[in-house]
Amino acid sequence: METEGTGQGPSRRQVLSAAGLAAVAVPFATRRQAPALVRRAGVAGAPPPEQVHVQFGADAASQVAVSWATAAAVSRPRLRLGRASFGHGLEVPAEERGYTEALTGETVLTYHARLRGLHPDTQYVYEVLHDGAAPVAGTFRTGPRGRSGGFRFTSFGDQAIPAAVGLGLGPWTPNAGFIVPAVERLDPLFHLFNGDLSYANVSDAPVATWTSFFNNNTRSAANRPWMPAAGNHENEVGNGPQGYLSYQTRFELPDNGSDEFRGNWYAFTVGTIRVISLNNDDVCLQDGGFSAFRRDNVPGYTANGDNPYIIGYSSGEQQRFLERELARARRSDEIDWIIVCMHQVAMSSAHFNGGDLGIRENWLPLFDRYGVDLVVAGHEHHFERSFPVRGVLPGSTLLTPAPQGTDASLMDTSTGTVHMIIGGGGHSTPTPVSDFDTPHDGVLITSVGPGSAQVQHPAITTTEPAPWSAYRDLQTPYGFASFDVVPHERGGTTSITVTHYGADLGSPVYSPRDQFVMRKPLGMDRQRDQLAGTATTR
């Protein structure tokens, strides 16, 4: 421990004050109680905390939540917070939240400690614990305030788990494990996880799948926030009205004003970036949440009216949230970048899923109107990125996005939104080369055929010109992207340098395969005014 001078350790008061912990507020009412009649483990022999992971609150400079799980109910779950130089100084009780898995009847218990009043750009240490078990340690760094400093974040989607569980129905590869230390080595401030997390919805052992997922990722996620978007494979039909109850229970995400849809969409600020996480199943035409295994094995599936096809489920609530968030971010002098983290894509060059017309109809006009800079997504299991796009190609009935500029290495996002597909997290089905047409075109889902709760609606696709596509990697099955943010450059610009790291199946070596820079002028007020006064071409 770094103590100087007298040779005596600091007093508890000095620790609290120096560590900036005095302002940490403690919890909040329990929203979702654990199922009744859960037997508490005795103090002796309590199972240890596991699956530890960190999330930012709405203000990354001052708010963090730490979450974990236990294999059985425990007594007095809590977190001890401190600073590396001073040890642990403050104890914060954790909220218990649980759910019952519809497929197996298992009870899952999770714990969440919310921390507020933290100091910006500061390294903290913590332990999570409960009576009768050894603490588990982690660390996190809060975000910088405004333009005070640069930072790095990383992103991928579509990970799955590193080894088979149950009957092995869900996807798994060694790369789902290898990618975690590869991310950790880059020491990002946070990680954006673009949906399709564990793929528990296609597993015969969904709880074990989630356990594998978090215990694999905790090597990084206990030390930096992994901020998720809910993908189609988070839809575990039977777990809550839209199948997201497991996702909602396991993560503690910034409040979106809705109890019912908590965590499905949310926003947070880190430095001069506003990140907005969306759930695209609300607008996608594709029937992506369907699971034949759950249809055939969730007790009472038909009698309960379970249905994984949930397009339109929020009745516009998510869209209203998105427009409010975008308008507020664009008005703010504190925000230079708007980044959307979501799962399914607006554009794709692959006959894998394809882009989804529902996203073009519902989200892209708002992205245009409020000048979203970057979208990170997954769903397609390859790497591809667009030029900045705004508006649509003249006369396009498919609403094909119109590229603004032709330089694939340096892009000005004040002219349009860059879309990235980063779907190589670790799943077992990379987009095959045969899914890409020659000559290069785009693939779009325009509707679905007949289906029901019992029969998946088939996607109906068409092809289109793809002048929006700036770069795609047909050869590298696995990878993630890093983003180095410089909030203020000489000459009055701000930039993000993006590097895609790729690896082959079975290889733990993730090496740089692609790099480009997004740069835009600071002081975007005039351009904001132009945006506000320009009707989109849709």
- CA 509 – CA 505 distance, rounded (Å): 10
- CA 444 – CA 431 distance, rounded (Å): 16
Please classify residue 397 by burial: count the beta carbons closer than 10 Å to its beta carbon, then call 0-12 exposed, 13-18 middle and 19+ buried.
exposed
Stretch that binds Fe ion, among 93-101, 237-245, 359-367, 372-380 (CB under 5 A): 372-380
Stretch that binds Fe ion, among 174-182, 299-307, 376-384, 468-476 (CB under 5 A): 376-384
Q: Contact 284/356 with Cβ under 8 angstroms?
A: yes
- Shortest distance, CB of residue 230 to Fe ion, whole angstroms? 10
Stretch that binds Fe ion, among 89-97, 194-202, 209-217, 257-265 (CB under 5 A): 194-202
Whether the bond into 47 is cis, omega within 30 of 0: no
The reply on whether position 382 binds Fe ion by CB under 5 A is no
The reply on whether position 198 binds Fe ion by CB under 5 A is no
In this complex, which beta carbon is closest to Fe ion, that of residue 141 or of residue 379? 379
- CA 142 – CA 120 distance, rounded (Å): 5
Tokens read off for 18 = 């120096």
- Shortest distance, CB of residue 434 to Fe ion, whole angstroms? 18
In this complex, which beta carbon is closest to Fe ion, that of residue 158 or of residue 373? 158
Q: Contact 121/144 with Cβ under 8 angstroms?
A: yes
The CA-atom distances, in angstroms, between 134 and each of 68, 81, 282 are 14, 16, 42
Q: Contact 212/197 with Cβ under 8 angstroms?
A: no
Q: What's 336-358 look like in SS3?
A: CEEEEECCCCCCCCECCCCEEHH
Pattern 416-445, Fe ion, x by CB under 5 A: ------------------------------
Region 145-184 residues binding Fe ion, contact defined as CB under 5 A: 158
In this complex, which beta carbon is closest to Fe ion, that of residue 252 or of residue 473? 473
The dihedral over CA atoms of 183, 155, 203, 315, expressed in degrees to the nearest 10, equals: 160
- Shortest distance, CB of residue 142 to Fe ion, whole angstroms? 31
Stretch that binds Fe ion, among 75-83, 104-112, 374-382, 434-442 (CB under 5 A): 374-382
- Shortest distance, CB of residue 370 to Fe ion, whole angstroms? 26
Return phi, psi of residue 436, to 5°: -105, 130
Strands (E), 423-537: 442-448, 459-464, 469-473, 478-489, 493-503, 511-521
- Shortest distance, CB of residue 455 to Fe ion, whole angstroms? 19
- Shortest distance, CB of residue 282 to Fe ion, whole angstroms? 14
Size of the site for Fe ion (CB under 5 A): 5
Stretch that binds Fe ion, among 61-69, 174-182, 377-385, 529-537 (CB under 5 A): 377-385
In this complex, which beta carbon is closest to Fe ion, that of residue 356 or of residue 368? 356
- CA 41 – CA 131 distance, rounded (Å): 9
- CA 74 – CA 323 distance, rounded (Å): 42
- Shortest distance, CB of residue 65 to Fe ion, whole angstroms? 25
- Shortest distance, CB of residue 277 to Fe ion, whole angstroms? 15
Stretch that binds Fe ion, among 15-23, 124-132, 231-239, 478-486 (CB under 5 A): 231-239
- Shortest distance, CB of residue 160 to Fe ion, whole angstroms? 8
In this complex, which beta carbon is closest to Fe ion, that of residue 196 or of residue 514? 196
- Shortest distance, CB of residue 16 to Fe ion, whole angstroms? 45
Region 87-146 residues binding Fe ion, contact defined as CB under 5 A: none
- CA 519 – CA 410 distance, rounded (Å): 7
Stretch that binds Fe ion, among 69-77, 183-191, 371-379, 387-395 (CB under 5 A): 371-379
The reply on whether position 379 binds Fe ion by CB under 5 A is yes
- Shortest distance, CB of residue 298 to Fe ion, whole angstroms? 20
Stretch that binds Fe ion, among 117-125, 129-137, 141-149, 191-199 (CB under 5 A): 191-199
Region 311-340 residues binding Fe ion, contact defined as CB under 5 A: none
Q: Are strands 469-473 and 478-489 parallel, antiparallel or unpaired?
A: unpaired
- CA 175 – CA 479 distance, rounded (Å): 9
Return phi, psi of residue 81, to 5°: -110, 145
The reply on whether position 232 binds Fe ion by CB under 5 A is yes
Region 476-515 residues binding Fe ion, contact defined as CB under 5 A: none
The reply on whether position 196 binds Fe ion by CB under 5 A is yes
In this complex, which beta carbon is closest to Fe ion, that of residue 74 or of residue 179? 179
Angle at alpha carbon of residue 287, lines to 286 and 292, rounded to 5°: 150
What is the distance between the terminal CA atoms of the chain, rounded to a whole angstrom? 61
- Shortest distance, CB of residue 342 to Fe ion, whole angstroms? 11
Interface residues toward Fe ion, by CB under 5 A: 158, 196, 231-232, 379
